[in-house]
Structure 1
Amino acid sequence: MSTSAFKPRFVKPSDTSSFLDKDPAVEKTNFTYNKYISQSIQTQRQRLPIFNNRNHILYLLEKYQTLILVGETGSGKSTQIPQYLREAEWPKQIVICEPRRVAAISLANRVADETGSLVQGDVVGYAVRFDSCACKPKIKFVTEGILLREMMSDPLLSSYSVIMIDEVHERTLYTDILLGLMKKILRKRPELRLIVASATMDATAFQKYFNNFENLKTPSSTILSVEGRQFPVEIFYVAEPVPCYVQASVEAAVNINASGTAGDVLIFLTGQEEVLKAVRILGEHANAIENSKSKNKITILPMYGSLPYNQQLKVFQKAPEGYRKIIVATNIAETSVTIPGVVFIIDSGFVKIKWYNIETHTDSLMVVPISKSSANQRAGRAGRMRSGKVYRLYTEEWAEKLPLNTPPEMVRSSLTYPILQLKAMGVNNILQFKFPSMPPMENIKSALELLYALNAIDINCQLTRPLGFHMAEFALNPLYSKMLLTSEEFSCSEEILIIISMLQVETVFNKPTTGNGIIKARIQKRLFEVKEGDLITYLNIFNAFVQNDMSQGFCHKNFLSHSSMKRVMEIRRNLEKILVNYNIPLTSCRNTENVCKCIVTGLFPNGAYLHRSGVYKTVRGDIDLFVHPESVFYNIEQPQWIVFGEVVHGIKLYMKDITVIQRDWLLELAPHFYYKTTGFE
């Protein structure tokens, strides 16, 4: 990708190397690397494009408080800059913030290998949700949520000398919040340094954002552009639009394998369900190839966010002799993570994003076309190790019409949890907080209203004690954390703990592609279904999984994903530790009504009733909703009053994770939210 539009505020290295070498601020960084790494690894590191800018980076960090780094794909910025900072002997810890846990963990392992140390040791470590290092490593990779939680206990991040926020172009919700908080922290800590890094971003806008300080005559931020080591990549488009991009992705992968050209394949799809569907279809092709004793053998590997990390690691391992890897991934593989051996990219042209509906108080999952910057990021995965080819499943004319960037998550997401965290960190006036992209006022108002209804804040918009502060400490949707924290009142903390753990994975069901398999899977699922709804069905599935010794055979028989169920077990153990810290005992009520009432304490904003027209309508907003095909209540008699977990955008608005309730429970458990708004008698 070209970064010629960004003009660095220093002279090019080829023209000024002697000047930089003589500068006292840079002089201390010129020393022998052998103190830290072997000669062979040193040679590999020196081949990266970022190496030519090593002294520039260290010099600019001495002179400026914020460095906006535009590093092209493959430049080595994510792995090398932390090592340069360690070698320059910055006094405190160096933290690198990544938007995804798989990137944080894989990068930590890569840097540990290059430094000749063990991950989670004194040199390199990581901290992600439900998994963190016990010691204080010099180089620490974290996810955005973890860094925000650290700010709650240490608002000025006093244990860090340099903070690097990577992949800023993704503009996730937490990225924008972190940037806003860092702007405040930098004022209080002049010695702190911030690196804002990405392959594609509006660097000038970020420079102006961090230059906006009072009483400063000189700019406090600067821009550095680094070229990438991207090999040539050929891009191909389809002649005509494809009717189904999942099926077209599979066919393209099969054709690539049949061609005999060496190299692994990476397919980009939108979500876990599509990934698993493609994996199953490709698995059938793999079995057919094995039976025919063909030389073009393939091994199929999925990659998505809720997949256990030990399963995600398999995509980085070399394929067995005589096999080609075909990796089917969501956009988790779009940035930061380099998968060795990938030569071919199959780009579906779509991505699944959240969009907040203030009327239903829910984040709707929508499949939308990707942006041009995302398309370039995906194409860059093929040019990291060698020249590659990209097969885009959309026409060239359509590609020209794609938006330049995906809208920032800040302007299209629920702000309930972010505002809760900002309140916990002492940001009382949300309207005066300097967001890089100001969210819509309606979203802020909706979030504050919902937090008040959850009793997380009081009438003065201050966090309540202890409920509000405890909810802020959970890395969960506030609706779910409210359910957990009130479960003691209903003596059902064990059941709620299981239900919420099940909701943290995208799906626990395997979906066959053949007609006979679909029928069998539906029959097996009915064995667990109950009239109380989907969440109680999840509870039954988990209990049956445990009673059958968590066996893979049980999952196979009942068309369940064993890896997803193991992930649920891991999440449950971690949430249990938090409940113990809050002195909430694990109790089981064996009373389904109590469990459903407890669910209402959290999901009451998502109430709906069956209208006489035959469709569901939200209690607030009067929005038409329909039962999702995967729900217990699809194509059977539907209950009158329900609450739901989320809304999925399709041809219609579909409700998922439905629980049957009684109308009076809404008035009893959420009188402020419904009595004053709807006027129930």
Structure 2
Amino acid sequence: EAAPKGVRKCIVSTNVAETSLTVDGIKYVIDSGFCKLKVYNPKIGMDALIVTPVSRANASQRSGRAGRTGPGFCFRLYTDRQCREELMENAVPEIQRTNLGNVVLLLKSLGIKNLLEFDFMDPPPQDNIMNSLYQLWILGALDNTGDLTDMGRRMAEFPLDPCLSKMLLFAHEHGGCSSEVLIIVSMLSVPSVFFRPKDREEESDAAREKFFVPESDHLTLLNVYLRAKQYRFDAEWCTKHFIHSKGIRKAREVHAQLLDLMKQQKLSPKSCGGSWDVVRKSICSAYFYNSSKIKGIGEYVNMLTGIPSALHPSSALFGLGYTPDYACYHELISTTKEYMSCVSAVEGEWLAELGPMFFSVKESYESSLKRRQRERLNALAMDKEMDKKKKDEETSTQKRKEAEAKINASLGSSTRRGTAVATPGRLSYSSTPKFMPKKKGRIGF
């Protein structure tokens, strides 16, 4: 809407207004020269929103917001020299700053062996690729030699993050709760369905607490979906309970698509009834490497990286009378501090059972000796697998070379035979000529 006479309209926007939004009547643009980018750190497995300078292409798009329908001006809060010499030509491609788990799994399913030498248009850092390969090995999607397992092939059928695919398949095969986990995966595949208006924070927090399942944020999402389903995803009911109706309906669409994919793989959803411990165990099977141990009230520390992490105030576990000893989280987000996003309480025994490469239950001397012996045997088995794969590759390479040599030899001999027969004007003295030469002195009419 146009501003009334004598009033200046001021619009404050993020970089979403660079390309996807056009507002008529804008005459002046003030460009701060900065934007927030989501960057993935492969060493600690964490996404962070980092304030970075814009690129020259971004700056050009921002100035283009002014003067769409008339003359306009752009005021940049940085010098012309900084624009020419310090800003990048284009923004960093997204493939170079995100988690590549799904991309690596897809390329492996297409039969690409060496991903480090794959010809990407914008090659991502090798640390990102190696970290993604390591995570897929942890989840059981890759074997010790880096080839795709049966689990990995089934995971690649789902257009999901590998962790969510593993959670869904584990729930079907071991937990018997794939119906509940399917809903949780659908809710995690869309942005947060809760909204919190600035002038009604306490009211929205009270409405959200009605859906809380004290042990898990994942189960809270399941509870929200089931309650919305009872009311047929009614927009008025969603607004009353501070839930995005579009978001919950999008989750319903994702749920229907995943259900069709499960039926294509002949996996019929199973329900666990009211026993939700198996659901938490299924969550633990996919996120055991994102596990934290309690350090203080609401304070946790990651058990693998040692990074301090905190429960977010909006978490269902934050308002408990007690805090669980161990918790698994969906992702770690760094803002003012490191917060765990979407947390579930888990048992220590589950971590030792589902993540034996990282965790073990405290043992006696005899059992620790047996465990070490088991680890040595596993290491020897891994070495044998690698040696066998190398020998197989060498054998296949040798056979391929021999086959190529035979083909080349046969092609060479056939070419020589073809020359003797097909070349015009060449006489074959070993055979009778087809045409007799004309006799001298004879005139042909």
1:626 is aligned to 310
Q: Quote the offset at 1:622 in angstroms.
A: 0.6
Q: Quote the offset at 1:408 in angstroms.
A: 2.9
Question: Which runs of structure 2 are paired with 1:460-471 in the superposition (5 Å)?
Answer: 460-465=145-150, 467-471=151-155
The answer for unaligned runs of 5 or more in structure 2 is: 362-367, 372-445
User: CA separation in 2, counterparts of 1:534 and 1:503?
Assistant: 11
RMSD over aligned Cα atoms: 3.2
1:373 is aligned to 57
Pick the structure with more strand per residue.
1
- 1:487 paired to 2:171: yes
- Aligned match of 2:77 in 381, 391, 395? 395
The alignment covers a number of residue pairs equal to 357
For residues 118-161 of structure 1, give each alpha carbon's deviation from its aligned partner in whole angstroms, at most 9, with x where no partner exists.
xxxxxxxxxxxxxxxxxxxxxxxxxxxxxxxxxxxxxxxxxxxx
For residues 471-519 of structure 1, give each alpha carbon's deviation from its aligned partner in whole angstroms, at most 9, with x where no partner exists.
22322111111111222121111111111111122211121111xx111
1:650 is aligned to 335
- Aligned match of 1:578 in 261, 273, 277? 261
User: CA separation in 2, counterparts of 1:396 and 1:365?
Assistant: 22
1:544 is aligned to 227
CA gap 1:388/1:433 in 2 versus in 1, 3 angstroms: farther
Q: Which AA in structure 1 matches 2:95?
A: M
Question: Which runs of structure 2 are paired with 1:89-100 in the superposition (5 Å)?
Answer: none
Q: Quote the offset at 1:575 in angstroms.
A: 1.3
Q: Quote the offset at 1:432 in angstroms.
A: 1.3
- 1:595 paired to 2:273: no
User: CA separation in 2, counterparts of 1:656 and 1:480?
Assistant: 15
Q: Quote the offset at 1:459 in angstroms.
A: 1.0
Q: Which AA in structure 2 matches 1:395?
A: L
For residues 336-382 of structure 1, give each alpha carbon's deviation from its aligned partner in whole angstroms, at most 9, with x where no partner exists.
x5758474667676544332233432433445453332232233244
Q: Quote the offset at 1:565 in angstroms.
A: 1.1
Q: Which AA in structure 2 matches 1:418?
A: V
- 1:450 paired to 2:135: yes
Question: Which runs of structure 2 are paired with 1:231-310 in the superposition (5 Å)?
Answer: 257-258=3-4, 268-269=13-14
3-state SS of the aligned residue for 1:481?
A: helix
With normalisation by structure 2, the TM-score equals 0.71
User: CA separation in 1, counterparts of 2:286 and 2:73?
Assistant: 45
Contact persistence 2:329–2:344 (CA under 8 A): yes
CA gap 1:486/1:614 in 2 versus in 1, 3 angstroms: closer
Contact persistence 1:455–1:468 (CA under 8 A): yes
3-state SS of the aligned residue for 2:215?
A: coil
User: CA separation in 2, counterparts of 1:463 and 1:603?
Assistant: 20
1:415 is aligned to 100
Q: Which AA in structure 2 matches 1:594?
A: V
Q: Which AA in structure 2 matches 1:500?
A: V
Question: Which runs of structure 2 are paired with 1:207-218 in the superposition (5 Å)?
Answer: none
Structure showing greater radius of gyration is: 2
2:118 is aligned to 433
- Aligned match of 1:363 in 47, 70, 91? 47
3-state SS of the aligned residue for 1:570?
A: helix
1:159 is aligned to none
- 1:559 paired to 2:242: yes
User: CA separation in 1, counterparts of 2:133 and 2:360?
Assistant: 18
2:347 is aligned to 662
Contact persistence 1:511–1:521 (CA under 8 A): yes
For residues 287-345 of structure 1, give each alpha carbon's deviation from its aligned partner in whole angstroms, at most 9, with x where no partner exists.
xxxxxxxxxxxxxxxxxxxxxxxxxxxxxxxxxxxxxxxxxxx63x644x575847466
Contact persistence 1:365–1:647 (CA under 8 A): no
User: CA separation in 2, counterparts of 1:503 and 1:376?
Assistant: 35
Q: Which AA in structure 1 matches 2:350?
A: W
For residues 182-240 of structure 1, give each alpha carbon's deviation from its aligned partner in whole angstroms, at most 9, with x where no partner exists.
xxxxxxxxxxxxxxxxxxxxxxxxxxxxxxxxxxxxxxxxxxxxxxxxxxxxxxxxxxx
CA gap 1:613/1:520 in 2 versus in 1, 3 angstroms: closer
User: CA separation in 1, counterparts of 2:81 and 2:302?
Assistant: 38
Q: Quote the offset at 1:655 in angstroms.
A: 1.0
Q: Which AA in structure 1 matches 2:245?
A: H
Contact persistence 2:216–2:316 (CA under 8 A): yes
- Aligned match of 1:617 in 285, 292, 301? 301
User: CA separation in 2, counterparts of 1:347 and 1:651?
Assistant: 25
Q: Which AA in structure 2 matches 1:634?
A: F
3-state SS of the aligned residue for 2:39?
A: strand
Contact persistence 1:359–1:620 (CA under 8 A): no
3-state SS of the aligned residue for 1:407?
A: coil
3-state SS of the aligned residue for 2:256?
A: helix
Q: Quote the offset at 1:261 in angstroms.
A: 9.2
CA gap 1:507/1:260 in 2 versus in 1, 3 angstroms: farther
2:432 is aligned to none
Contact persistence 2:298–2:310 (CA under 8 A): no
User: CA separation in 1, counterparts of 2:37 and 2:197?
Assistant: 25
3-state SS of the aligned residue for 1:621?
A: coil
User: CA separation in 1, counterparts of 2:292 and 2:73?
Assistant: 45
User: CA separation in 2, counterparts of 1:482 and 1:666?
Assistant: 16
Question: Which runs of structure 2 are paired with 1:66-215 in the superposition (5 Å)?
Answer: none
User: CA separation in 2, counterparts of 1:670 and 1:348?
Assistant: 47
1:501 is aligned to 186
User: CA separation in 1, counterparts of 2:178 and 2:113?
Assistant: 32
Q: Aligned residues: percent identity?
A: 31
User: CA separation in 2, counterparts of 1:569 and 1:398?
Assistant: 50
User: CA separation in 2, counterparts of 1:509 and 1:368?
Assistant: 29
- 1:521 paired to 2:267: no
CA gap 1:546/1:357 in 2 versus in 1, 3 angstroms: same
1:47 is aligned to none
CA gap 1:498/1:395 in 2 versus in 1, 3 angstroms: same
Q: Quote the offset at 1:635 in angstroms.
A: 5.4
Contact persistence 1:267–1:346 (CA under 8 A): no
CA gap 1:342/1:626 in 2 versus in 1, 3 angstroms: farther
Q: Which AA in structure 1 matches 2:54?
A: I
3-state SS of the aligned residue for 1:589?
A: coil
Contact persistence 1:457–1:463 (CA under 8 A): yes
1:530 is aligned to 213
For residues 542-579 of structure 1, give each alpha carbon's deviation from its aligned partner in whole angstroms, at most 9, with x where no partner exists.
11111122112211221111111111111111111111
